[in-house]
């Protein structure tokens, strides 16, 4: 991560615009603060792509687009990097953000950035209309930077996923893990699934009922996982529910969209979370807590 950040900072010097790929289901939790720091230092405009919008709650996504479009030098768009018709809009949006570039004499140099497993390489392949970057449903598939010409007026550089070492808010860590931006070897599936289940109970109880046939009323996160185990007949020897297998099933249903279109945060829920965090800090008089994932020393 340290090496990738250093290389990204070097490339930023000769970049005109940053394309930051976010997960539409958790835009701020999937936004690496180091990327913002790097681009603001060089005063680069930013196209924020809320990828996987087909998996996210449309109302929440629109709220996020409105939120980001109020920021100077930023344009936000929701799309799916797997849809060629969506990706075809990206070059034009970039040219609008950097109108002084995009000519034969001054080609527009773009840089794709984001955390692991948000769809950067999928976007790169779709832009070039050929497979040049490895993709996979695991974090950190891209290992090094790659640069290509889109045409004689535009070029694009794909970068490895940048994850910051200290995740300040516990909920961000759980959202990232639920959405597979953090590898399974760094988290405990049952804890992540319980966190996800509690969000679903609060915001999308009807989707739980439709998928698993359980009445959401009176359940907590653990109860939801038990209901999944019962529905799928996941049992250990002796008849106890297989919580590990049920947790993974719940996470997989969320990640693939089988549960429905779900967003884990909204601008309003983000504001509430941050306000509560600051209040807790003030009352305790302690330094901010932070979550460190297992790869934080890399």
Q: What is the CATH number of the domain that holds 41?
A: 3.40.50.300
Whole-number pLDDT of residue 145: 82
Please tell me the distance from the alpha carbon of residue 192 to that of residue 201, in angstroms, as a whole number: 14
In three-state secondary structure terms, 74 is strand
CB 24 within 8 A of CB 78: yes
Beta bridge partners of 167: 291
**Pair (74, 145) in one structural domain:** yes
Q: What is the CATH number of the domain that holds 246?
A: 1.10.1580.10
Please tell me the distance from the alpha carbon of residue 69 to that of residue 42, in angstroms, as a whole number: 20
Whole-number pLDDT of residue 25: 98
**Pair (12, 137) in one structural domain:** yes
- The CA-CA-CA angle for residues 82, 86, 90, to 5°, reads 110
Whole-number pLDDT of residue 293: 47
In a domain, 131, yes or no: yes
* Last residue of one domain, picked from the residues 158, 179, 207: 158
Please tell me the distance from the alpha carbon of residue 142 to that of residue 163, in angstroms, as a whole number: 13
Domain span including residue 69: 2-158
CB 249 within 8 A of CB 234: yes
CB 24 within 8 A of CB 31: no
Per-residue confidence in pLDDT tens, the chain, 298 aa: 677 778 888 889 999 999 999 999 999 999 999 999 999 999 999 999 999 999 999 999 999 999 999 999 999 999 999 999 999 999 999 999 999 999 999 999 999 999 988 999 899 999 999 888 665 554 444 557 889 999 999 999 998 888 887 888 999 999 999 999 887 777 899 999 999 999 999 999 999 999 999 998 889 999 999 999 999 999 999 999 999 999 999 999 999 999 999 999 999 999 999 998 888 888 877 554 444 444 433 3
Whole-number pLDDT of residue 134: 62
Domain count, the chain: 2
Please tell me the distance from the alpha carbon of residue 250 to that of residue 225, in angstroms, as a whole number: 7
**Pair (65, 123) in one structural domain:** yes
Whole-number pLDDT of residue 143: 55
CB 56 within 8 A of CB 261: yes
């Amino acid at each position: 991560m340290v090496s990738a950040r250093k290389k990204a900072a070097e490339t930023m010097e000769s970049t005109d615009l940053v394309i930051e790929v976010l997960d539409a289901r958790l835009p701020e939790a999937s936004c690496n603060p180091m990327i913002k720091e790097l681009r603001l230092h060089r005063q680069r405009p930013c196209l924020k792509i809320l990828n996987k919008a087909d998996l996210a709650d449309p109302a929440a996504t629109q709220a996020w687009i409105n939120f980001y479009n109020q920021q100077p030098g930023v344009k936000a768009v929701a799309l799916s990097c797997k849809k060629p018709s969506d990706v075809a809009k990206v070059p034009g949006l970039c040219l609008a953000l950097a109108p002084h570039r995009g000519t034969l004499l001054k080609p527009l140099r773009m840089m794709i950035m984001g955390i692991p497993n948000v769809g950067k390489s999928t976007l790169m392949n779709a832009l070039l209309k050929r497979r040049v970057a490895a993709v996979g449903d695991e974090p950190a598939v891209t290992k090094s930077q790659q640069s290509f010409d889109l045409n004689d007026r535009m070029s694009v550089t794909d970068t490895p996923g940048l994850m910051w070492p200290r995740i300040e808010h516990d909920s961000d860590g759980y959202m990232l893990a639920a959405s597979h931006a953090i590898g399974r070897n760094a988290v405990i599936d049952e804890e992540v699934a319980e966190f996800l289940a509690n969000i679903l109970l609060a915001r999308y109880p009807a989707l739980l009922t439709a998928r698993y046939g359980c009445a959401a009323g009176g359940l907590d996160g653990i109860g939801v996982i038990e209901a999944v185990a019962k529905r799928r007949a996941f049992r250990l020897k002796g008849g106890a529910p297989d919580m590990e297998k049920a947790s993974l099933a719940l996470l997989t249903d969320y990640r693939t969209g089988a549960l429905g279109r779900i967003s884990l945060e909204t601008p309003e829920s983000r504001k509430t979370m941050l306000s509560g965090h600051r209040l807790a800090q003030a009352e305790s008089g302690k330094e901010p807590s932070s979550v460190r994932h297992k790869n934080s020393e890399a």
